[in-house]
């Protein structure tokens, strides 16, 4: 399995002309997976050798602005580069509880209509992931007011046995989220390649003794 990582931004809090806010892309099997999407990520993508249209999954570590303020704009740019296609698989977006409401409200208030589907899979944090006074319970954030056409997706709870959240699994790898401690609930993402059976040339081994 071939993996390639491109850092689009490694700055924090305050972007500069030379250093973008947090964002990196993992390229795998012709797809691009984006991790964090700080302000200016779409501009950094244009400067890179990557094609934004190949982004199929987006992972947001936490809800501080320097890690997600670029996301609504990036989705709108991807939409401008798209044509309506009902059969196109959705872009999967993973992040802490509250991310669905942030995206829905940002796109709704700006009258932005995406030409492709997307889903938001929210990770429910535990209270020990940040200082007690910083914890916010976003479980009832929308109070049922989100319209039926709002972004679908799963609400993922911690698996106590694994002490992690299972996000993606296919024949080659597993992607899990793990809890991190930060000023707000934060998550780290681990990509684990599944064991692949080796191939032995039995006759050559015999010939070599």
Residues annotated as part of the active site: 66
**Which residue in 3, 1, 47 sits closest to 25, CA to CA?**
3
For residues 193 and 191, what is the distance between their CA atoms, to the nearest angstrom? 7
For residues 116 and 104, what is the distance between their CA atoms, to the nearest angstrom? 14
For residues 119 and 204, what is the distance between their CA atoms, to the nearest angstrom? 51
Contact 172, 3 (CB under 8 A): no
**Which residue in 56, 64, 14, 76 sits closest to 36, CA to CA?**
64
> How far is CA 77 from each of CA 29, 82, 149, 163, rounded to the nearest angstrom?
23, 9, 20, 36
For residues 116 and 86, what is the distance between their CA atoms, to the nearest angstrom? 8
Contact 56, 90 (CB under 8 A): no
């Amino acid at each position: 399995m071939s993996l390639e990582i491109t850092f689009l931004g490694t700055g924090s809090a305050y972007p500069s002309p030379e250093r973008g806010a947090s964002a990196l892309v993992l390229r795998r099997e012709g797809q691009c997976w984006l991790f964090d999407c700080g302000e200016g990520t779409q501009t950094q993508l244009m400067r890179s050798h990557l094609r934004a249209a190949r982004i199929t999954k987006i992972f947001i570590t936490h809800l501080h602005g320097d890690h997600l303020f670029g996301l609504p704009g990036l989705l709108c740019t991807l939409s401008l580069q798209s044509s309506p296609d009902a059969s196109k698989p959705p872009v999967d977006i993973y992040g802490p509880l509250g991310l669905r409401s942030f995206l829905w409200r940002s796109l709704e208030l700006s009258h932005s209509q995406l030409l492709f589907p997307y889903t938001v899979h929210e990770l429910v944090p535990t209270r020990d992931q940040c200082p007690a006074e910083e914890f916010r319970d976003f479980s009832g954030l929308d109070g049922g007011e989100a319209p039926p056409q709002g972004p679908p997706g799963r609400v993922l709870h911690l698996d106590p046995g694994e002490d992690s959240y299972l996000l993606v699994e296919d024949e080659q790898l597993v992607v899990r989220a793990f809890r991190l401690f930060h000023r707000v609930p934060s998550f780290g993402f681990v990509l684990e390649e599944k064991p692949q059976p080796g191939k032995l040339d039995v006759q050559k081994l015999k010939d070599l003794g």
